[in-house]
Chain A
Amino acid sequence: MAYEMQFGPIIAHAPDLLQGAISTLSLSAQSIAIGVSIGLCCAVARTEEPRLLGKMVATYVEVFRNTPLLVQLFLIYFGLPLIGLRLTADTSAVFAISLNLGAYSTEIIRAGLIAIPKTQVEAGLALGMSRLQVVRHIVLIPALRVIYPALTGQLTLTLLGTSIASAISATELTSAGSKIESANFRSLETFLTIAAIYIALTLAFRFVYWLIGLWLFRRKRPPKPSLIADIPAAGVAA
Protein backbone atom coordinates (compact mmCIF):
# COMPACT_ATOMS: atom_id res chain seq x y z
CA MET A 1 0.00 0.00 0.00
CA ALA A 2 2.84 2.34 0.77
CA TYR A 3 3.74 4.05 -2.43
CA GLU A 4 7.23 5.32 -2.65
CA MET A 5 7.70 8.24 -4.88
CA GLN A 6 10.68 7.79 -7.06
CA PHE A 7 11.91 10.76 -8.94
CA GLY A 8 14.88 8.95 -10.36
CA PRO A 9 13.29 7.97 -13.65
CA ILE A 10 12.06 11.52 -14.04
CA ILE A 11 15.43 13.10 -13.38
CA ALA A 12 16.86 10.76 -15.96
CA HIS A 13 14.81 12.65 -18.48
CA ALA A 14 16.26 15.97 -17.40
CA PRO A 15 17.42 16.92 -20.91
CA ASP A 16 13.87 16.44 -22.23
CA LEU A 17 12.52 18.52 -19.38
CA LEU A 18 15.04 21.24 -20.06
CA GLN A 19 14.16 21.20 -23.72
CA GLY A 20 10.50 21.38 -22.83
CA ALA A 21 11.08 24.33 -20.55
CA ILE A 22 13.01 26.17 -23.23
CA SER A 23 10.26 25.48 -25.74
CA THR A 24 7.69 26.80 -23.32
CA LEU A 25 9.74 29.96 -22.83
CA SER A 26 10.06 30.37 -26.57
CA LEU A 27 6.36 29.85 -27.13
CA SER A 28 5.53 32.29 -24.35
CA ALA A 29 7.95 34.92 -25.58
CA GLN A 30 6.60 34.84 -29.11
CA SER A 31 3.01 34.92 -27.95
CA ILE A 32 3.69 37.75 -25.53
CA ALA A 33 5.46 39.85 -28.14
CA ILE A 34 2.68 39.41 -30.68
CA GLY A 35 -0.17 39.50 -28.18
CA VAL A 36 0.91 42.71 -26.48
CA SER A 37 1.50 44.37 -29.85
CA ILE A 38 -2.01 43.44 -30.89
CA GLY A 39 -3.26 44.78 -27.57
CA LEU A 40 -1.44 48.07 -28.04
CA CYS A 41 -2.78 48.64 -31.54
CA CYS A 42 -6.31 47.66 -30.61
CA ALA A 43 -6.31 49.74 -27.44
CA VAL A 44 -5.26 52.82 -29.39
CA ALA A 45 -7.80 52.01 -32.09
CA ARG A 46 -10.50 51.71 -29.50
CA THR A 47 -9.78 55.06 -27.82
CA GLU A 48 -9.33 56.97 -31.05
CA GLU A 49 -12.06 56.91 -33.65
CA PRO A 50 -13.51 55.88 -36.15
CA ARG A 51 -16.36 54.12 -34.47
CA LEU A 52 -16.46 51.20 -36.87
CA LEU A 53 -12.90 50.18 -36.08
CA GLY A 54 -13.62 50.52 -32.39
CA LYS A 55 -16.64 48.26 -32.67
CA MET A 56 -14.65 45.65 -34.58
CA VAL A 57 -12.02 45.65 -31.89
CA ALA A 58 -14.69 45.37 -29.20
CA THR A 59 -16.15 42.36 -30.95
CA TYR A 60 -12.76 40.69 -31.22
CA VAL A 61 -12.12 41.32 -27.54
CA GLU A 62 -15.45 39.95 -26.35
CA VAL A 63 -15.28 36.86 -28.53
CA PHE A 64 -11.80 35.90 -27.39
CA ARG A 65 -12.42 36.64 -23.74
CA ASN A 66 -15.63 34.66 -23.56
CA THR A 67 -14.50 31.45 -25.21
CA PRO A 68 -11.90 29.01 -23.87
CA LEU A 69 -8.35 29.04 -25.19
CA LEU A 70 -8.57 25.33 -25.90
CA VAL A 71 -11.50 25.81 -28.25
CA GLN A 72 -9.71 28.70 -29.97
CA LEU A 73 -6.72 26.42 -30.39
CA PHE A 74 -8.82 23.64 -31.91
CA LEU A 75 -10.49 26.04 -34.30
CA ILE A 76 -7.16 27.30 -35.56
CA TYR A 77 -5.41 23.95 -35.74
CA PHE A 78 -8.29 21.82 -37.03
CA GLY A 79 -10.55 24.40 -38.60
CA LEU A 80 -8.25 26.60 -40.64
CA PRO A 81 -7.06 23.79 -42.94
CA LEU A 82 -10.61 23.71 -44.27
CA ILE A 83 -10.03 27.11 -45.81
CA GLY A 84 -6.61 26.12 -47.04
CA LEU A 85 -4.52 27.40 -44.13
CA ARG A 86 -2.72 24.44 -42.61
CA LEU A 87 -0.53 25.51 -39.72
CA THR A 88 1.81 23.33 -37.70
CA ALA A 89 0.94 22.63 -34.11
CA ASP A 90 3.57 25.05 -32.87
CA THR A 91 2.46 27.83 -35.18
CA SER A 92 -1.18 27.24 -34.30
CA ALA A 93 -0.27 27.51 -30.65
CA VAL A 94 1.48 30.86 -31.12
CA PHE A 95 -1.44 32.09 -33.20
CA ALA A 96 -4.11 31.10 -30.71
CA ILE A 97 -2.29 32.24 -27.59
CA SER A 98 -1.33 35.56 -29.20
CA LEU A 99 -4.89 36.29 -30.24
CA ASN A 100 -6.11 35.34 -26.80
CA LEU A 101 -3.56 37.52 -25.05
CA GLY A 102 -4.26 40.31 -27.52
CA ALA A 103 -7.87 40.49 -26.39
CA TYR A 104 -6.98 40.73 -22.71
CA SER A 105 -4.11 43.14 -23.35
CA THR A 106 -6.40 45.45 -25.29
CA GLU A 107 -8.60 45.98 -22.28
CA ILE A 108 -5.73 46.29 -19.85
CA ILE A 109 -3.84 48.81 -21.97
CA ARG A 110 -7.01 50.73 -22.72
CA ALA A 111 -7.57 51.14 -19.00
CA GLY A 112 -4.09 52.57 -18.74
CA LEU A 113 -4.63 55.08 -21.54
CA ILE A 114 -7.92 56.20 -20.05
CA ALA A 115 -6.25 56.70 -16.69
CA ILE A 116 -4.08 59.52 -17.99
CA PRO A 117 -5.93 62.84 -17.50
CA LYS A 118 -6.74 64.74 -20.66
CA THR A 119 -4.93 67.74 -19.22
CA GLN A 120 -1.59 65.95 -19.49
CA VAL A 121 -2.20 65.41 -23.18
CA GLU A 122 -3.22 69.05 -23.60
CA ALA A 123 -0.07 70.23 -21.90
CA GLY A 124 1.98 68.21 -24.34
CA LEU A 125 0.05 69.40 -27.37
CA ALA A 126 0.30 72.98 -26.16
CA LEU A 127 4.08 72.66 -26.21
CA GLY A 128 3.90 71.82 -29.89
CA MET A 129 4.24 68.05 -29.66
CA SER A 130 2.46 65.79 -32.11
CA ARG A 131 -0.06 63.23 -30.87
CA LEU A 132 2.47 60.48 -31.38
CA GLN A 133 5.12 62.35 -29.40
CA VAL A 134 2.61 62.95 -26.64
CA VAL A 135 1.87 59.23 -26.40
CA ARG A 136 5.52 58.26 -26.40
CA HIS A 137 6.88 60.83 -23.95
CA ILE A 138 3.97 61.73 -21.72
CA VAL A 139 1.34 59.02 -21.70
CA LEU A 140 3.23 55.77 -22.08
CA ILE A 141 5.23 55.42 -18.88
CA PRO A 142 2.57 56.71 -16.47
CA ALA A 143 -0.04 54.51 -18.16
CA LEU A 144 2.25 51.51 -17.95
CA ARG A 145 2.77 52.19 -14.28
CA VAL A 146 -0.97 52.13 -13.65
CA ILE A 147 -1.52 48.82 -15.39
CA TYR A 148 1.75 47.12 -14.51
CA PRO A 149 0.36 44.61 -11.98
CA ALA A 150 -2.56 43.65 -14.20
CA LEU A 151 -0.37 43.36 -17.29
CA THR A 152 2.38 41.30 -15.69
CA GLY A 153 -0.25 39.09 -14.09
CA GLN A 154 -1.77 38.46 -17.49
CA LEU A 155 1.66 37.64 -18.93
CA THR A 156 2.18 35.09 -16.15
CA LEU A 157 -1.14 33.50 -17.04
CA THR A 158 -0.04 33.39 -20.65
CA LEU A 159 3.11 31.51 -19.67
CA LEU A 160 1.05 29.01 -17.72
CA GLY A 161 -1.58 28.87 -20.45
CA THR A 162 0.94 27.51 -22.94
CA SER A 163 0.36 24.15 -21.26
CA ILE A 164 -2.95 23.95 -23.12
CA ALA A 165 -1.01 23.63 -26.34
CA SER A 166 -0.13 20.10 -25.28
CA ALA A 167 -3.62 19.21 -26.52
CA ILE A 168 -2.32 19.42 -30.06
CA SER A 169 1.12 18.11 -29.11
CA ALA A 170 2.86 21.40 -29.61
CA THR A 171 6.47 21.53 -28.50
CA GLU A 172 6.39 22.65 -24.91
CA LEU A 173 6.85 21.43 -21.37
CA THR A 174 3.53 19.72 -20.71
CA SER A 175 3.80 17.70 -23.91
CA ALA A 176 7.30 16.69 -22.85
CA GLY A 177 5.89 15.70 -19.49
CA SER A 178 3.17 13.59 -21.04
CA LYS A 179 5.74 11.74 -23.11
CA ILE A 180 7.86 11.02 -20.05
CA GLU A 181 4.79 9.95 -18.11
CA SER A 182 3.67 7.48 -20.72
CA ALA A 183 7.19 6.05 -20.82
CA ASN A 184 7.46 5.22 -17.15
CA PHE A 185 3.91 5.48 -15.77
CA ARG A 186 5.09 7.49 -12.81
CA SER A 187 2.35 10.05 -13.23
CA LEU A 188 2.52 11.70 -9.83
CA GLU A 189 6.23 12.28 -9.85
CA THR A 190 6.24 13.43 -13.44
CA PHE A 191 3.53 16.01 -13.05
CA LEU A 192 4.81 17.20 -9.70
CA THR A 193 8.17 17.79 -11.36
CA ILE A 194 6.49 19.59 -14.24
CA ALA A 195 4.57 21.71 -11.76
CA ALA A 196 7.78 22.56 -9.95
CA ILE A 197 9.38 23.67 -13.21
CA TYR A 198 6.43 25.88 -14.06
CA ILE A 199 6.53 27.39 -10.59
CA ALA A 200 10.23 28.09 -10.99
CA LEU A 201 9.65 29.69 -14.38
CA THR A 202 6.83 31.81 -12.98
CA LEU A 203 8.93 33.02 -10.07
CA ALA A 204 11.78 33.82 -12.44
CA PHE A 205 9.46 35.83 -14.68
CA ARG A 206 7.97 37.67 -11.73
CA PHE A 207 11.45 38.62 -10.63
CA VAL A 208 12.27 39.89 -14.10
CA TYR A 209 9.04 41.90 -14.18
CA TRP A 210 9.96 43.44 -10.86
CA LEU A 211 13.39 44.37 -12.17
CA ILE A 212 11.94 45.86 -15.32
CA GLY A 213 9.51 47.80 -13.18
CA LEU A 214 12.35 49.22 -11.14
CA TRP A 215 14.08 50.38 -14.29
CA LEU A 216 11.02 51.73 -16.10
CA PHE A 217 9.66 53.63 -13.16
CA ARG A 218 12.97 54.74 -11.74
CA ARG A 219 13.49 58.14 -10.29
CA LYS A 220 16.77 59.96 -10.51
CA ARG A 221 16.90 60.30 -6.76
CA PRO A 222 15.00 57.89 -4.50
CA PRO A 223 12.88 60.20 -2.37
CA LYS A 224 9.77 58.13 -1.87
CA PRO A 225 9.09 54.39 -1.90
CA SER A 226 7.63 53.04 -5.09
CA LEU A 227 3.86 52.79 -5.23
CA ILE A 228 3.89 49.71 -7.38
CA ALA A 229 2.52 46.51 -5.91
CA ASP A 230 3.24 43.75 -8.35
CA ILE A 231 0.97 41.13 -6.92
CA PRO A 232 -1.26 39.83 -9.66
CA ALA A 233 -4.94 40.06 -8.86
CA ALA A 234 -6.78 37.02 -10.14
CA GLY A 235 -6.90 35.28 -13.32
CA VAL A 236 -7.49 33.45 -16.41
CA ALA A 237 -6.37 29.92 -16.99
CA ALA A 238 -7.99 28.97 -20.22
Chain B
Amino acid sequence: MIKSFGWDSVEFLLFATRWTLLLSAMTFVLGGIFGLIFALLRVLGPRPVQLLIAGYTQLIQATPLLILVFIAFYGLSFLGLYFPPLIAAAISLSMYTTAFLGDIWRGCIESIPRQQWEAADALAMTLPQKLRYVILPQALRISLGPTVGFMVQIVKNTSVTALIGFVELTRAGQLLNNMTFQPFAVFMTVAAIYFTICYPLSFISQRLKGSRHVGLAH
Protein backbone atom coordinates (compact mmCIF):
# COMPACT_ATOMS: atom_id res chain seq x y z
CA MET B 1 0.00 0.00 0.00
CA ILE B 2 1.64 3.17 -1.08
CA LYS B 3 1.47 5.95 1.36
CA SER B 4 1.28 9.46 0.09
CA PHE B 5 3.85 12.08 0.99
CA GLY B 6 2.21 14.55 3.27
CA TRP B 7 2.68 16.43 6.48
CA ASP B 8 2.90 13.31 8.60
CA SER B 9 5.78 12.21 6.39
CA VAL B 10 7.58 15.41 7.18
CA GLU B 11 6.82 14.88 10.85
CA PHE B 12 8.30 11.44 10.60
CA LEU B 13 11.47 12.90 9.17
CA LEU B 14 11.63 15.60 11.79
CA PHE B 15 11.26 13.04 14.52
CA ALA B 16 14.21 11.11 13.13
CA THR B 17 16.14 14.36 13.00
CA ARG B 18 16.15 14.34 16.77
CA TRP B 19 18.30 11.24 16.62
CA THR B 20 20.62 12.94 14.17
CA LEU B 21 21.02 15.81 16.58
CA LEU B 22 21.46 13.52 19.57
CA LEU B 23 24.12 11.46 17.84
CA SER B 24 25.86 14.64 16.67
CA ALA B 25 25.90 16.01 20.20
CA MET B 26 27.24 12.76 21.65
CA THR B 27 29.92 12.61 18.98
CA PHE B 28 30.95 16.19 19.54
CA VAL B 29 31.19 15.79 23.30
CA LEU B 30 33.04 12.47 23.28
CA GLY B 31 35.16 13.35 20.29
CA GLY B 32 35.86 16.74 21.77
CA ILE B 33 36.98 15.47 25.14
CA PHE B 34 39.29 12.86 23.70
CA GLY B 35 40.34 15.19 20.93
CA LEU B 36 41.51 17.75 23.44
CA ILE B 37 43.37 15.13 25.45
CA PHE B 38 45.03 13.80 22.32
CA ALA B 39 45.92 17.28 21.12
CA LEU B 40 47.57 18.13 24.43
CA LEU B 41 49.37 14.81 24.59
CA ARG B 42 50.56 15.24 21.05
CA VAL B 43 52.03 18.64 21.80
CA LEU B 44 53.32 18.08 25.32
CA GLY B 45 53.61 14.38 25.90
CA PRO B 46 56.65 12.10 25.80
CA ARG B 47 57.78 11.10 22.36
CA PRO B 48 56.35 7.55 22.31
CA VAL B 49 52.95 8.92 23.24
CA GLN B 50 53.23 11.57 20.54
CA LEU B 51 54.01 8.91 17.97
CA LEU B 52 51.17 6.72 19.13
CA ILE B 53 48.67 9.51 18.79
CA ALA B 54 50.12 10.58 15.47
CA GLY B 55 49.80 6.99 14.30
CA TYR B 56 46.23 6.78 15.48
CA THR B 57 45.36 10.02 13.74
CA GLN B 58 46.99 9.03 10.47
CA LEU B 59 45.30 5.62 10.48
CA ILE B 60 41.85 6.97 11.17
CA GLN B 61 42.28 9.71 8.61
CA ALA B 62 43.19 7.11 6.02
CA THR B 63 40.11 4.95 6.65
CA PRO B 64 36.63 5.62 5.35
CA LEU B 65 34.19 6.55 8.09
CA LEU B 66 31.77 3.95 6.82
CA ILE B 67 34.29 1.16 7.35
CA LEU B 68 34.91 2.35 10.91
CA VAL B 69 31.18 2.23 11.52
CA PHE B 70 30.94 -1.25 10.02
CA ILE B 71 33.79 -2.50 12.18
CA ALA B 72 32.18 -1.10 15.29
CA PHE B 73 28.77 -2.53 14.48
CA TYR B 74 29.42 -5.80 12.74
CA GLY B 75 32.91 -6.54 13.77
CA LEU B 76 33.03 -6.50 17.52
CA SER B 77 31.02 -9.63 18.03
CA PHE B 78 34.21 -11.33 19.05
CA LEU B 79 33.91 -9.47 22.30
CA GLY B 80 30.64 -11.21 22.74
CA LEU B 81 29.04 -7.80 22.54
CA TYR B 82 26.55 -6.72 20.02
CA PHE B 83 26.35 -2.99 20.16
CA PRO B 84 23.02 -1.53 19.28
CA PRO B 85 23.29 0.79 16.30
CA LEU B 86 23.26 3.97 18.39
CA ILE B 87 26.20 2.86 20.52
CA ALA B 88 28.21 1.48 17.63
CA ALA B 89 27.55 4.71 15.78
CA ALA B 90 28.55 6.85 18.74
CA ILE B 91 31.76 4.92 19.31
CA SER B 92 32.93 4.91 15.71
CA LEU B 93 31.91 8.49 14.99
CA SER B 94 33.61 9.63 18.19
CA MET B 95 36.82 7.84 17.29
CA TYR B 96 36.72 9.53 13.88
CA THR B 97 35.96 12.92 15.40
CA THR B 98 38.72 12.52 17.97
CA ALA B 99 41.27 12.05 15.23
CA PHE B 100 40.15 15.09 13.23
CA LEU B 101 39.31 17.51 16.01
CA GLY B 102 42.44 16.48 17.85
CA ASP B 103 44.45 17.32 14.76
CA ILE B 104 42.72 20.66 14.28
CA TRP B 105 43.30 21.63 17.88
CA ARG B 106 46.87 20.43 17.83
CA GLY B 107 47.42 22.74 14.89
CA CYS B 108 45.87 25.63 16.77
CA ILE B 109 48.02 25.04 19.83
CA GLU B 110 51.15 24.72 17.74
CA SER B 111 50.38 27.96 15.98
CA ILE B 112 50.81 29.87 19.23
CA PRO B 113 54.27 31.38 18.89
CA ARG B 114 57.08 30.05 20.99
CA GLN B 115 57.46 33.47 22.54
CA GLN B 116 54.18 33.07 24.38
CA TRP B 117 55.43 29.92 26.06
CA GLU B 118 58.68 31.65 26.93
CA ALA B 119 56.92 34.66 28.36
CA ALA B 120 54.81 32.41 30.57
CA ASP B 121 57.93 30.53 31.65
CA ALA B 122 59.60 33.78 32.51
CA LEU B 123 56.71 34.53 34.84
CA ALA B 124 57.40 31.23 36.63
CA MET B 125 54.10 29.65 35.71
CA THR B 126 53.54 25.91 36.03
CA LEU B 127 52.45 23.93 33.02
CA PRO B 128 48.76 23.81 33.99
CA GLN B 129 48.85 27.56 34.61
CA LYS B 130 50.54 28.23 31.29
CA LEU B 131 47.90 26.22 29.52
CA ARG B 132 44.99 27.63 31.40
CA TYR B 133 45.87 31.31 31.33
CA VAL B 134 48.08 31.84 28.29
CA ILE B 135 48.07 29.11 25.68
CA LEU B 136 44.62 27.59 25.63
CA PRO B 137 42.65 30.85 25.64
CA GLN B 138 44.54 31.96 22.55
CA ALA B 139 44.31 28.54 20.92
CA LEU B 140 40.61 28.52 21.66
CA ARG B 141 40.02 31.74 19.79
CA ILE B 142 41.92 30.49 16.75
CA SER B 143 40.15 27.15 16.85
CA LEU B 144 36.59 28.47 16.90
CA GLY B 145 36.22 28.82 13.16
CA PRO B 146 37.55 25.40 12.16
CA THR B 147 35.78 23.71 15.08
CA VAL B 148 32.38 25.07 14.18
CA GLY B 149 33.18 24.14 10.62
CA PHE B 150 33.88 20.58 11.67
CA MET B 151 30.59 20.45 13.51
CA VAL B 152 29.02 20.59 10.07
CA GLN B 153 30.97 17.48 9.15
CA ILE B 154 29.85 15.78 12.36
CA VAL B 155 26.21 16.34 11.48
CA LYS B 156 26.70 15.14 7.91
CA ASN B 157 28.73 12.15 9.08
CA THR B 158 25.76 10.85 11.04
CA SER B 159 24.14 10.05 7.71
CA VAL B 160 26.39 7.06 7.10
CA THR B 161 24.96 5.36 10.15
CA ALA B 162 21.85 4.85 8.06
CA LEU B 163 23.75 1.99 6.48
CA ILE B 164 23.82 0.07 9.74
CA GLY B 165 20.14 0.64 10.23
CA PHE B 166 20.29 3.45 12.75
CA VAL B 167 17.13 5.43 12.20
CA GLU B 168 18.41 8.95 11.91
CA LEU B 169 17.29 11.37 9.26
CA THR B 170 18.76 9.67 6.20
CA ARG B 171 17.53 6.22 7.17
CA ALA B 172 14.13 7.66 7.89
CA GLY B 173 14.26 9.03 4.38
CA GLN B 174 15.04 5.60 2.97
CA LEU B 175 12.17 4.08 4.93
CA LEU B 176 9.81 6.82 3.87
CA ASN B 177 10.87 6.38 0.26
CA ASN B 178 10.01 2.71 0.48
CA MET B 179 6.59 3.60 1.80
CA THR B 180 5.71 6.45 -0.54
CA PHE B 181 7.83 5.84 -3.64
CA GLN B 182 8.43 9.56 -3.89
CA PRO B 183 12.23 9.71 -3.77
CA PHE B 184 12.44 13.26 -5.01
CA ALA B 185 10.08 14.72 -2.45
CA VAL B 186 11.48 12.60 0.35
CA PHE B 187 15.16 13.22 -0.22
CA MET B 188 14.75 16.86 -1.10
CA THR B 189 13.04 17.30 2.25
CA VAL B 190 15.80 15.34 3.94
CA ALA B 191 18.38 17.52 2.22
CA ALA B 192 16.50 20.65 3.21
CA ILE B 193 16.50 19.62 6.85
CA TYR B 194 20.24 18.93 6.80
CA PHE B 195 20.81 22.24 5.07
CA THR B 196 18.80 24.06 7.70
CA ILE B 197 21.01 22.60 10.41
CA CYS B 198 24.33 22.88 8.61
CA TYR B 199 24.21 26.16 6.75
CA PRO B 200 23.97 28.37 9.85
CA LEU B 201 26.95 26.51 11.29
CA SER B 202 28.89 26.98 8.06
CA PHE B 203 28.03 30.64 8.01
CA ILE B 204 29.16 31.17 11.57
CA SER B 205 32.33 29.23 10.84
CA GLN B 206 33.16 31.46 7.86
CA ARG B 207 32.59 34.55 9.94
CA LEU B 208 34.78 33.28 12.74
CA LYS B 209 37.55 32.41 10.35
CA GLY B 210 37.52 35.77 8.66
CA SER B 211 35.97 34.01 5.74
CA ARG B 212 38.75 34.22 3.17
CA HIS B 213 40.81 31.28 4.28
CA VAL B 214 39.55 27.92 3.16
CA GLY B 215 40.35 24.74 4.99
CA LEU B 216 38.76 21.39 4.39
CA ALA B 217 36.68 21.56 7.53
CA HIS B 218 34.58 24.46 6.33
Chain B interface residues toward A at CB < 8 A: 59, 61-68, 70-71, 74-80, 96, 100-101, 103-104, 107, 146, 150, 152-153, 156-157, 159-160, 162-163, 170, 173-174, 177, 183-184, 187-188, 190-191, 194-195, 198-199, 202, 212-218
**A1 CA to B103 CA in the complex, in Å?**
37
B217 contact from A62, A163, A234, Cβ within 8 A: A234
Interface centre among A74, A147, A188 (most CB of B within 10 A): A74
Q: Can you spell out 5 A-B residue pairs with CB atoms less than 8 angstroms apart?
A: A65-B152, A70-B163, A163-B64, A234-B215, A238-B153
* Residue numbers in B under 8 Å from A195 (CB-CB): 63-64, 67-68, 71
Contact indicator A236/B170 (Cβ below 8 Å): no
Given contact pairs A5-B78, A199-B59, A66 touches B157 in the complex (Cβ within 8 A): no
- How far is A74 from B213 in the complex, measured between Cα atoms in Å? 31
Q: Which residues of B contact A79 (CB under 8 A)?
A: 183-184, 187-188
Whether a CB of chain B sits under 8 angstroms from the CB of A10 is: no
CB atoms of B194 and A68 under 8 A apart: yes
Q: Are B199 and A153 in contact (CB under 8 A)?
A: no
> In the bound complex, how far is the Cα of B215 from the Cα of A5, in angstroms?
40
Inter-chain CA distance A110–B211, complex, in Å, is 12
Cα distance, A72 to B194, chains bound together (Å): 11
B152 touches A66 (CB 8 A): yes
- CB of B80 within 8 A of CB of A1, answer yes
Tell whether, in the assembled complex, residue B183 and residue A82 are in contact, meaning their CB atoms are under 8 Å apart: yes
Please choose the segment from A48-56, A132-140, A154-162, A209-217 that sits at the chain B interface, where 4 or more of its residues have CB less than 8 A away.
A154-162
Number of A residues contacting the other chain (C-beta, 8 Å)? 59
Bound state CA distance, A164 and B153, in angstroms? 15
Q: In the complex, how many angstroms separate the beta carbon of A173 from the nearest chain B beta carbon? A: 9
A150 at the interface (CB under 8 A from B): yes
- Of the residues B107, B184, B215, contact of A75 by C-beta under 8 Å: B184
Known: A69-B156, A75-B188, A235-B216. 10 other contacts (CB 8 A): A70-B162, A71-B159, A79-B188, A82-B184, A163-B65, A174-B67, A191-B74, A202-B62, A237-B65, A237-B96
- Give the contacting residue for B78; candidates A65, A188, A199; CB below 8 A: A188
CA distance A7 to B17 in the complex (A): 39
B contact residues around A108 at 8 Å (CB): 214, 216
Tell me, in angstroms, the Cα distance from A188 to B215 when the chains sit together. 34
Closest 3 pairs (CB-CB, A-B): A3-B78, A78-B183, A188-B75
Pick from B62, B146, B173 the residue with the most CB of A within 10 Å: B62
A29 interface residue, CB < 8 Å from B? no
Most buried by A among B67, B74, B163: B67
Determine whether A203 belongs to the interface, using a CB cutoff of 8 Å to chain B.
Answer: yes
State the Cβ distance, A115 to closest chain B Cβ, in Å.
Answer: 9
Contact of B67 among A66, A72, A153, A198 (CB under 8 A): A198
Contact residue among B188, B190, B216 (Cβ-Cβ distance under 8 Å from A153):
B216
Please report the C-alpha to C-alpha distance between residue A63 and residue B156 in the assembled complex, in whole angstroms: 13
Query: Shortest beta-carbon distance, A63 to chain B, in Å?
Result: 7
Q: Are A236 and B195 in contact (CB under 8 A)?
A: no
A95 at the binding interface (Cβ < 8 Å): no
| Residue contact A194 to B173, C-beta cutoff 8 Å | no
- Residues from chain B with a CB closer than 8 A to the CB of A199 are 59, 62-63
CB-CB under 8 A for A236 and B67, given A164-B160, A191-B75: no
Cβ 8 A contact of B187, one of A75, A111, A181: A75
A237 touching B173, Cβ below 8 Å: no
| From B78, B174, B199, residue with most partner A Cβ within 10 Å | B78
Residues of A with C-beta under 8 A to B215: 150, 233-234
Are B67 and A150 in contact (CB-based, < 8 A)? no
- CA of A166 to CA of B65 in the docked complex: distance in angstroms? 13
A237–B160 touching, CB < 8 Å: yes
Q: A67 and B156 in contact (CB under 8 A), knowing A203-B62, A235-B217, A238-B65? A: yes
Tell me, rounded to whole Å, the shortest Cβ–Cβ distance linking B149 to chain A.
8
CB neighbors of B among A28-83 (8 A): 62-63, 65-72, 74-75, 78-79, 81-83
Complexed CA–CA distance, A104 and B218 (Å): 9
Contact (Cβ within 8 A) A198 B170: no
Kindly identify which residue among A81, A157, A232, A238 contacts B160, using a CB–CB cutoff of 8 Å: A238
